[in-house]
Amino acid sequence: GQQVQQSPASLVLQEGENAELQCNFSSTATRLQWFYQHPGGRLVSLFYNPSGTKHTGRLTSTTVTNERRSSLHISSSQTTDSGTYFCAIDPNTNKVVFGTGTRLQVLP
Amino acid sequence: GPKVLQIPSHQIIDMGQMVTLNCDPVSNHLYFYWYKQILGQQMEFLVNFYNGKVMEKSKLFKDQFSVERPDGSYFTLKIQPTALEDSAVYFCASSFLVDTQYFGPGTRLLVL
């Protein structure tokens, strides 16, 4: 079945450092979305980015569709960035598949 | 931004009883989804719904599960009867087309 792998599984940063989160998927995806899950569980959509590069604030998402990978770059990390980041894809089946997540902890 | 609401936020229920989870999606959205997340694990797709019908469902969407959106009101997930392994957080999401999904805050279900 469709696999979505995220790396690293967990990451600890000092405030101000940058982070690069990776998402690799095993078949062509019609859509790719990055989510942030607050420590309390609430989910927020960060990017809908099936291809190309998108920016918002300190976040940049780059998806290279033919290489089946996407990255999420967080610059100048803050303690409020702590939480879990998921990528999710829809592999042409409408059954959205979530990755395993990257747990980020940003220390003051 | 667009908001999806879920009612209730928490539900505790005895095994074997029925439970209905309610989702109030973004008003002009056409696609609706339910996801299940067991504590500490990744989110898993359950089902999606469009034009009054289930489009796709996963293996987690057992026969005891059903979804509906009567008359354009709440999008509901009903579990009847509930089992212990149904304890999880259930997230509802909606999208206008096959694009950005907006998630609700989740309903924490505990089956005793």
pLDDT confidence of A31, banded at 50, 70, 90? Answer: confident
Show me where the domains of chain A are located. Answer: 4-107
pLDDT confidence of B108, banded at 50, 70, 90? Answer: very high
CB pairs under 8 A between A and B: 52
Q: What is the pLDDT of residues B56-73, one digit of tens each?
A: 888 899 999 999 998 778
A4-107, CATH topology level: Immunoglobulin-like (2.60.40)
**Is A98–B45 a contact, with Cβ atoms under 8 angstroms apart?**
yes
**Is A97–B101 a contact, with Cβ atoms under 8 angstroms apart?**
no
For residues B23 and B4, the answer to whether their CB atoms sit within 8 Å is yes
What whole-number distance in Å separates Cα of residue B53 and Cα of residue B99? 19
Tracing tokens 């999420």 back to the chain, one arrives at A72
Q: What is the pLDDT of residues B47-58, one digit of tens each?
A: 989 999 998 888
Least confident range of A26-35, B3-12, B19-28: A26-35
**Is B56–A33 a contact, with Cβ atoms under 8 angstroms apart?**
no
Which of A94, A97, A103 best probes binding to B when mutated, by most B CB atoms within 10 angstroms? A94
